[in-house]
Amino acid sequence: MKPKLLLRIAAVLMFLHTIGHSFGAFSSKKAPNAAVAAVIKGMETTHFDFMGRSVTLASFDDGFAFIMILTLLFISILLWLLSAETGNSLSSRLVPLVAVLLLSMGILEYIYFFPFAAAFSLIAGLCTLISLFTKDANGKPVLNT
């Protein structure tokens, strides 16, 4: 496979991850049992002062979800743009960093969050990593341009 195709596959996978994260982050928070419901209610009702505002832990959770959506969208766009620039010196510097980022993110998601969501990051990271060792349109390895 060509590096461009591999990076575009990675971009689409990360975009699907973004869509899934968006639905999961902003869907209704139904508790599976009474203990979890009590924790969620406590997060939503207990206010404390932070930087001059009265906030809840639920507002921090919503903010984190929004930031992650933007981060995942940025990674998707970055991979798509890098796919058009394979063989470029900028691409040869950024692609290894993005590969390591995606693999690290996938491992962290697998350990701490959702194994299913981790699959998107891990496969996207592997596609990005493999693209480093394939040849671009000019027949040169992407890493050595």
Question: Is the Cα torsion angle 77, 80, 81, 87 positive or negative in sign?
Answer: positive
User: What's the pLDDT tens digit per position in 118-139?
Assistant: 788 888 888 888 877 776 566 6
Task: Name which of 60, 55, 61, 56 is nearest 25 in CA terms.
Answer: 61
Residue 140's pLDDT band, with cuts at 50, 70 and 90, is low
Q: What is the pLDDT of residue 145?
A: 45
Look up the pTM and report it: 0.75
> At 131, is the secondary structure helix, strand, or coil?
helix
Tokens 């040169």 sit on residue: 140
User: What's the pLDDT tens digit per position in 9-41?
Assistant: 988 998 998 998 888 888 767 778 889 889 888
The C-alpha atoms of residue 96 and residue 103 are separated, in whole angstroms, by 11
Q: How far is CA 32 from the centre of its chain?
A: 26
Percentages (nearest 5) of helix, strand, coil residues in the chain: 75, 5, 20
* Neighbour tally for 103: CB within 10 Å: 17
User: What's the pLDDT tens digit per position in 68-90?
Assistant: 889 889 888 888 888 877 666 66
Q: What is the pLDDT of residue 137?
A: 60
User: What's the pLDDT tens digit per position in 35-54?
Assistant: 988 988 898 899 999 888 89
CA distances from 13 to 18, 43, 62, 81, 120 (A): 9, 32, 23, 15, 6
